[in-house]
């Protein structure tokens, strides 16, 4: 069974009602005991006083008949003989039967008690003081009786207190229900609006309540999240359409070549067709590999380690120098500071460096300079060529996916247009940045990465 109500409003209302009931219940119980105790003490005192005064008057023989009543008939006094016969009484008490048939024993001459009769609302109680005037066996007994107020005798006091407790709990519940309802109204509006926002329409925003309370904060946060979501979805959509466009061109080329060969086999140079098909397949493979890599960067799948950036650059440069190079390949010069360590995924850094060097070698006239240093808590790697450079207005654009400034040339060289996008994505996934900075000649790419913390270097 589910005891916890689902709605906050119901839950808070219940809690307030129960709390109010417990607190006011405790106060009511205290008040009940207090009232009963004080009233009874007063009654006992009055009754005892009257009884004692009468008993003293009997002993010194000064008791009048009927007994004078100075309480306005409130306290009834009777003097009863040893046989239960009424000897004397106050005017009001003379008309009723003996107050009690209890005779105090000789060793305990005085006693007070409460006696009740009747039931329900008609229940009557009185406080009785019985005094055996002397220790003689035939001593008379003085009874004084004071009625207990009706609200105490018939339980009306408890009923009233209980009604008070119920009324207070109901009031607490009602106030809580109203207040929580008003507080949560904006939440309901936000929820309704969020429910209507779908993946296809992310332009809508939730209503923003005025003020700076938690709910206004919630709405602001939800709207900021929607902003980010909208941008991300836009980016994904753009990316998917770019990607399919990029893939369609080589596929169409491939298809045209193959169709042509199959329709005119006699005019076809089979070797040339296959070579061209292989080139297109290569290109498709590159694009798909790059797209997959882009999707995976920063997802936390790959293991990170502490890497010496200078070592990494040295290896990449040596590998390129060692590979068969054409005569007009640019010269690679390096200025690598030792001990510049960063935390990251080795394969991704190799890829980043590879992409920068591929571009630099492609666009350089004669030299590519690579440097590694550290400054202000960051490792700084620069790759600079002496080519035509990148106009200031294009320096951000080249990092977008599938951007090529000089399409014929880079397409011919097999670039996918994803190289710099991948490189920047890797830098950012490692808490760093990649940008193009001013240089006297050629393009100057600058990578900044946070240095590995001292404790990671062991």
Q: Which stretches of the chain bind ligand ADP, using CB under 6 A? A: 355, 359-360, 363, 385, 387, 390, 398, 403-406, 410, 415-421, 443
Taking the least distance from each CB to ligand ADP, the nearer of 363 and 378 is 363
Taking the least distance from each CB to ligand ADP, the nearer of 196 and 396 is 396
Nearest approach in angstroms of CB 419 to ligand ADP is 3
Taking the least distance from each CB to ligand ADP, the nearer of 143 and 399 is 399
Tokens matching residue 414: 């097999």
DSSP code per residue over 198-230: BTTB--------SSSSHHHHHHHHHHHHHHHHH
Residues 6+ apart with CB under 8 A from 411: 404
Nearest approach in angstroms of CB 374 to ligand ADP is 24
Nearest approach in angstroms of CB 289 to ligand ADP is 12
Taking the least distance from each CB to ligand ADP, the nearer of 287 and 309 is 287
Q: Tell me, what DSSP letter sits at residue 82?
A: T
Nearest approach in angstroms of CB 297 to ligand ADP is 14
Taking the least distance from each CB to ligand ADP, the nearer of 76 and 434 is 434
Spatial distance between the Cα atoms of 179 and 249, rounded to a whole number of angstroms? 63
Q: Which residue is nearest to ligand ADP (CB)?
A: 415
Nearest approach in angstroms of CB 254 to ligand ADP is 19
Region at 414 (left for phi over 0; alpha for psi -120 to 50; beta for the rest): left
Nearest approach in angstroms of CB 292 to ligand ADP is 16
CA dihedral 257, 258, 263, 268 (to 10 degrees): 70
Residues 6+ apart with CB under 8 A from 224: none
Tokens matching residue 88: 């004397």
Nearest approach in angstroms of CB 216 to ligand ADP is 43
Residues 418/399, Cβ–Cβ less than 8 Å: no
Nearest approach in angstroms of CB 452 to ligand ADP is 27
Residues 6+ apart with CB under 8 A from 43: 127, 146, 148
Nearest approach in angstroms of CB 316 to ligand ADP is 16
Taking the least distance from each CB to ligand ADP, the nearer of 362 and 430 is 362
Nearest by Cα to 348 from 237, 260, 432: 432
Taking the least distance from each CB to ligand ADP, the nearer of 91 and 414 is 414
Nearest approach in angstroms of CB 234 to ligand ADP is 20
Residues 173/20, Cβ–Cβ less than 8 Å: yes
Nearest approach in angstroms of CB 421 to ligand ADP is 6
Q: How far is CA 164 from CA 17, 26, 183, in A?
A: 13, 12, 28
Q: How far is CA 364 from CA 154, 322, 359, 368, 409, in A?
A: 108, 19, 8, 7, 13
Taking the least distance from each CB to ligand ADP, the nearer of 310 and 442 is 442
Taking the least distance from each CB to ligand ADP, the nearer of 276 and 403 is 403
Nearest approach in angstroms of CB 326 to ligand ADP is 18
Tokens matching residue 87: 């000897």
Which 3 state secondary structure label does DSSP give 441? coil
Taking the least distance from each CB to ligand ADP, the nearer of 205 and 444 is 444
Give the residue ranges of DSSP H helices in 391-443: 407-412, 419-429
Burial of 411 (0-12, 13-18, 19+ CB in 10 A): middle
Q: Tell me, what DSSP letter sits at residue 31?
A: H
Taking the least distance from each CB to ligand ADP, the nearer of 145 and 422 is 422
Backbone dihedral angles phi then psi of residue 238, each to the nearest 5 degrees = -60, -45
Spatial distance between the Cα atoms of 264 and 442, rounded to a whole number of angstroms? 48
């Amino acid at each position: 069974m589910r005891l916890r109500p689902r709605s906050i409003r119901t839950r808070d209302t219940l809690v307030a009602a129960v709390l109010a009931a417990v607190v006011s219940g405790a106060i009511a119980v205290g008040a009940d005991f207090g009232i009963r105790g004080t009233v009874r003490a007063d009654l006992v005192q009055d009754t005892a006083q009257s009884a004692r005064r009468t008993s003293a008057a009997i002993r010194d023989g000064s008791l009048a008949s009927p007994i004078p009543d100075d309480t306005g008939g409130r306290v009834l006094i009777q003097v009863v003989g040893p046989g239960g016969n009424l000897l004397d009484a106050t005017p009001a008490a003379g008309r009723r039967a003996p107050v009690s048939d209890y005779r105090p024993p000789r060793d305990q001459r005085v006693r007070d008690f409460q006696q009740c009769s009747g039931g329900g609302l008609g229940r009557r109680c009185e406080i009785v003081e019985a005094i055996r005037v002397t220790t003689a066996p035939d001593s008379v007994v003085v009874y004084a009786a004071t009625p207990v107020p009706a609200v105490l005798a018939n339980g009306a006091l408890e009923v009233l207190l209980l009604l008070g407790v119920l009324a207070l709990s109901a009031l607490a519940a009602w106030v809580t229900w109203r207040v929580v309802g008003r507080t949560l109204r904006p939440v309901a509006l936000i929820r309704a609006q969020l429910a209507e926002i779908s993946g296809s329409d992310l332009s809508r925003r939730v209503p923003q309540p005025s003020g700076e309370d938690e709910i206004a904060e919630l709405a602001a946060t939800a709207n900021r999240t929607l902003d980010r979501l909208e941008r991300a979805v836009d980016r994904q959509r753009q990316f998917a359409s770019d990607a399919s466009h990029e893939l369609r061109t080589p596929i169409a080329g491939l298809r045209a070549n193959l169709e042509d060969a199959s329709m005119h086999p006699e005019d076809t140079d089979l070797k040339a067709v296959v070579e061209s098909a292989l080139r297109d397949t290569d290109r498709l493979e590159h694009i798909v590999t790059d797209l997959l890599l882009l999707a995976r960067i920063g997802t936390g799948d790959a293991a990170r380690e502490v890497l010496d950036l200078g070592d990494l650059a040295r290896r990449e440069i040596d590998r390129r120098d060692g590979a068969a190079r054409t005569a007009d390949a640019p010269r690679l010069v390096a200025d690598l500071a030792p001990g510049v360590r960063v935390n990251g995924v080795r394969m991704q850094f190799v890829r980043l460096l590879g992409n920068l060097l591929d571009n630099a070698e492609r666009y350089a006239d004669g030299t590519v300079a690579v440097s590694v240093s550290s400054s202000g808590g960051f490792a700084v790697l620069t790759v600079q060529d002496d080519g035509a450079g990148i106009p200031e207005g294009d320096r951000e654009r080249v990092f977008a996916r599938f951007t090529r400034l000089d399409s014929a040339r880079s397409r011919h060289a097999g670039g996918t247009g994803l190289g710099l996008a991948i490189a920047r994505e890797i830098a950012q996934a490692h808490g760093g940045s990649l940008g193009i900075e001013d240089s006297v000649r050629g393009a100057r790419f600058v990578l900044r990465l946070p240095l590995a913390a001292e404790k990671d270097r062991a």
